Amino acid sequence: MKWFLILWAGPVLLLTSWYGLSYYDMSFGFFMLTRHTHDLVFQIYGKILGIPPETIPPLVARAIAFDSLVVFAIVAFRKRRQIAAWWHRRQASRSGAAALPSDESLSNAP
């Protein structure tokens, strides 16, 4: 699961870092971080896709948001027993009732 999250977060962070730095022309001496390269990349993608270049960043942002929801849903599904135990303990502590079994006993369940 750790590698799954790393392999998802790595490209997302790389893309958003490049986009933010190149959009604001913070090149630090690197050609890939200049605004000229930023515009050129989106012109090329626009020609390949047949759409205006200024419509690509919102599409990419929506795709990243959707992918993030899918990744977090997978993580939540894998951790559902721990999340349920936490929720029951939280509700029990609010109502003053005895808490349900801890995470450790649930993680050993089949």
Contact present, 56 and 46 (Cβ < 8 Å):
yes
Reduced DSSP (H G I as helix, E B as strand, rest coil) percent helix, strand, coil of the chain, to 5: 80, 0, 20
Q: Is 61 inside any structural domain?
A: no
Q: Is 26 inside any structural domain?
A: yes
Q: Is 99 inside any structural domain?
A: no
Confidence class for position 106, pLDDT limits 50, 70, 90: low
- The residue segments making up the domain with residue 6 are 2-55
Q: Is 96 inside any structural domain?
A: no
Q: Is 13 inside any structural domain?
A: yes
Q: Is 83 inside any structural domain?
A: no
Q: Is 107 inside any structural domain?
A: no
What DSSP element (H or E) covers 73?
helix 56-78
pLDDT tens per residue, range 59-100: 999 999 999 999 999 998 988 999 889 999 999 888 876 555
pLDDT tens per residue, range 6-55: 999 999 999 999 999 999 999 999 999 999 999 999 999 999 999 999 99
Tally of domains within the chain: 1
Contact present, 25 and 35 (Cβ < 8 Å):
yes
Q: Is 101 inside any structural domain?
A: no
